Chains A and B, each alone.
Chain A
Amino acid sequence: MSRFLPKSLLGQTLFAIGVALLTTQLISATLLYRAAESRLEANLLNRTALALLVDPEARELRRRIEIEAAGQAMGPIRGPWRRIRTRISATPPIMRGEANMTGRAEQLASILESQGLRPVAVQLTERRAGDDPAMQARADRNTRFAARPGWADERLIVAGIQLEQGGPWRITRVSMLQREPRVIGGIIIQTAVLFIVLMTVLFFFLRRITQPLARLTDRMSDFSKRPDYSVTLEESGPADTRRLIAAHNVMETRIAALLDEKDVMLGAIGHDLKTPLAALRVRIESVPDDVQRLRMADSIEDITATLDDILTLARVGRSHHAWEDVDLGALAGSIVDEFEDLGRPVTMTGSARVVASVQVTWMKRALRNLVSNAVRYGDSAEVVVLMEAGQAILRVDDHGPGIPSDRISDMMEPFTRGEASRNRATGGAGLGLTLARAIAQQHGGELALKTRDEGGLRAEIRIPLAK
């Protein structure tokens, strides 16, 4: 269920306000509905009472007098008088099987009493028009009435009063069909209008807050990928958001300055160490003993390689290399070719096309480190590039002793080397895996090492695929 709920600030706020609005509208609709119901009830009883107050015989008598006074011949009663719903009857209004609605009957009695009428008995019930003998009789007489669709299902209040003990009943029928029109409809329309207006206003208002936040988030998440830190993020939105962006800009500038300092420092270190190394490399050319000279050259190469590793490691995460969508198969292929050219037992299998956004120089370096480790400690390397679970995987398998599982995380720390390489001949400063891991992380991925069940180490760089 919770995964259908909105996640964003905008969505959650709108959702919460929507729910609150709906709840209040529901409550007020209920209250309005109940008020309307009780008003209808009172109205119904009043109409019933009004009909019962008039003595139908007296009314008819007065009508006759009026007609005679006008000098007209007395004919049969026509017109509206036919519809008189109050009748005199010897039998009580409640038929067999019906219950007297005593609550309503008492209310009716009290209304009548306030008008000076004190009946000895009051009966009141609700009935389908079709079940009512009087209405049935009317339908029998009047075909037009009978043809009215649904008349038989209308509900009637049938009420009667007895003015003296054992006397006749005065009975009336009142239609219950008198809804106040569109009480619910009105509330629905009102709610809809409120919803639309409120949500629109809120949406635009909240977006003023969330858009700058989204920009800030984007900016922070590709901080390491940005080549240029001089353009700061524009401050926009309400004051709180502006302050957040301003604070972020200050922090970013500070970090950029630190990184710049680091770059300058590393450049200086590199320059200052490599120049004397270069001088040394030139000077040893005058050493007459070939063996000695080659050993010196090797040592200088060793120092240079270590220095390069250290400088590179310090620079990971801060490089001006472009990010490109790269065919990783071709990238791995060129590394494999390099080793092949040197006569190393490195092979590549599979040729699935895997494209990821990488910094080519760095990724080559990471893979080169893994392959050279595999060749050094594992006799040979097999390189595979594959796609798995939305990730691009550069896999290097070797046939060496592997690494005990409790040593794997140590191996990725700087200046750690496997047992096999204690002697200096196999070389390396122990930065290869550290560097590979740092590069994988810079690409939003990871370096995974494990000893395969069939023996040998499996090293994998896993990075996200290109979008």
Chain B
Amino acid sequence: MSNDTPISVLLVDDEPTLREPLAEYLTGQGFAVTEAQSAAAARSALASAAPDIALLDIMMPGEDGLSLCRHLVETRKLPVIFLTARSEPTDRIVGLELGADDYVVKPFEPRELVARIRTVLRRVARGPSPDAEAEDWLYEFEGWQLDPLKRKLCDPEGVTVPVSTAEFRLLRAFLDRPRAVLDRDQLLDMVQGRTAHLFDRAVDNQVSRLRRKIEADTRNPQFIQTVRGGGYRFAADVRRKVPDRPQ
């Protein structure tokens, strides 16, 4: 993807009142937009166009966005961002399970949507990270469990310990590279994701928050250890386990 060819976007929403101004706005931002008012229209548009990314409304008459998403991910390996009116986390999980890359909740800030489109495309361009294939496993360390899909951390007694998005990403970065020394820049790079602005605070601050949640004694941490000379290391064995998730 070079800078001179515009990024082409497939925009699928049954509401012309939203679709039209959004297409206009995205065009204004330098995207090449193909509009479709239904899943069927989107499928036929795909015959002639080869978009870089799809923005899908979930609730549409006829075939809904979830079904279209499955089709796009399976046949075209197309990055997908959902535009959803609902903010229930179950919708998010369903969407991400189907292979969508991100979602925004209506009414969204148009600038944020543009930022997310760029983030997703940047990530796709970096090539599939080993984790992006399927997130269908659990991390286990010293009895703790982290479910990457549900973003759920459970302590050895099975009690859920709520973590923020930033904490989740940070912990996951550690769990992907146990016992490796990670400096602050690396951590910042790895945890910067869909919503980079969430992670503009110092890494140290996030590390200390995470420690408060998982360490028995934060002054003498057993898991996330500070390495002299800058950086942190996750000092426990991590296993990956396939969960028995109901299909």
Contact = CB atoms under 8 A, between A and B. Distances in A.
Contact of B159 (A285, A355, A364): A355
Contacts, number: 100
Interface stretch (B18-26, B36-44, B45-53): B18-26
Interface stretch (A79-87, A131-139, A325-333, A429-437): A325-333
A334 B18 contact: no
Contacts of B219: none
B185 interface: no
Contacts of A331: 162
A365 to B, nearest CB: 11
A407 interface: no
A276 B212 contact: no
Interface string A268-304: 0011001111111111011000000000010010001
A360 interface: yes
28 contacts: A271-B85, A274-B106, A274-B107, A275-B15, A275-B17, A277-B107, A279-B22, A281-B107, A281-B108, A285-B25, A320-B88, A321-B90, A324-B160, A325-B157, A326-B160, A327-B161, A327-B162, A331-B162, A334-B163, A334-B164, A334-B167, A341-B201, A351-B212, A355-B159, A360-B160, A360-B162, A361-B88, A364-B162
Nearest to A268: B59
A274 B162 contact: no
Looking at A282, A319, A320, A338, the one whose CB has the most chain B CB atoms below 10 A away is: A282
A281 B109 contact: yes
A164 interface: no
Contacts of B59: 267, 271
A404 to B, nearest CB: 35
A333 B209 contact: yes
Given A282-B22, A285-B25, A333-B213, A267 B86 contact: yes
Nearest to B23: A282
A308 interface: yes
Nearest to A276: B17
Interface string B69-105: 0000000000000010111111000000000000000
A57 interface: no
Contact of B109 (A297, A334, A338, A466): A297
A133 to B, nearest CB: 88
Contact of B21 (A283, A297, A320): A283
Interface of A: 267, 270-271, 274-283, 285-286, 297, 300, 304, 308, 319-321, 324-327, 330-331, 333-334, 337-338, 341, 351, 355, 360-361, 364, 466
Contacts of A308: 87
B194 to A, nearest CB: 17
Nearest to A335: B162
Given A325-B159, A338-B164, A274 B89 contact: no
Contacts of B157: 325, 355
Nearest to A358: B160
Which 9 A/B pairs are nearest by Cβ-Cβ distance?
A: A278-B107, A278-B106, A279-B18, A277-B107, A281-B107, A274-B85, A324-B160, A271-B85, A330-B161
A132 B108 CA distance: 117
B158 interface: yes
Interface residues of B, number: 35
Given A270-B86, A308-B87, A327-B155, A278 B18 contact: yes
Contacts of B155: 327
B18 A337 contact: no
Contacts of B86: 267, 270-271
Contact of B162 (A279, A281, A330, A355): A330
A402 to B, nearest CB: 29
Contacts of A337: 164, 209
Given A282-B21, A285-B25, A341-B201, A275 B159 contact: no
Nearest to B59: A271
B212 A333 contact: yes
B18 A282 contact: yes
A227 to B, nearest CB: 11
A282 B215 CA distance: 45
A282 to B, nearest CB: 4
Contacts of A355: 157, 159
Interface in B121-147: none
Given A320-B90, A361-B89, A327 B106 contact: no
Contacts of B17: 275-276, 279
Most B-side CB within 10 Å, residue of A271, A275, A319:
A275
Contacts of B15: 275-276, 279
Contacts of A341: 201
B161 A325 contact: no
Given A304-B107, A327-B155, A279 B21 contact: yes
Nearest to B198: A341
B107 A300 contact: yes
B218 to A, nearest CB: 9
Contacts of A320: 88, 90
Interface string B145-175: 0000000100101111111100100000000
A334 B110 contact: no
Given A276-B17, A331-B162, A334-B162, 8 more contacts: A267-B59, A276-B18, A282-B110, A285-B25, A286-B25, A326-B160, A355-B159, A360-B162
B158 A325 contact: yes
Contacts of B21: 279, 282-283
A326 B157 CA distance: 10
B110 A270 contact: no
A386 B168 CA distance: 25
A202 B22 CA distance: 74
A413 B155 CA distance: 38
Contacts of A271: 59, 85-86
A275 B209 contact: no
Given A278-B18, A282-B21, A330 B107 contact: no
Contacts of A364: 162
A328 to B, nearest CB: 9
Interface string B183-213: 0000000000000000001000000010011
B186 to A, nearest CB: 22
B159 A327 contact: yes
A249 B142 CA distance: 46
Given A282-B22, A333-B209, A275 B162 contact: no
A285 B212 CA distance: 41
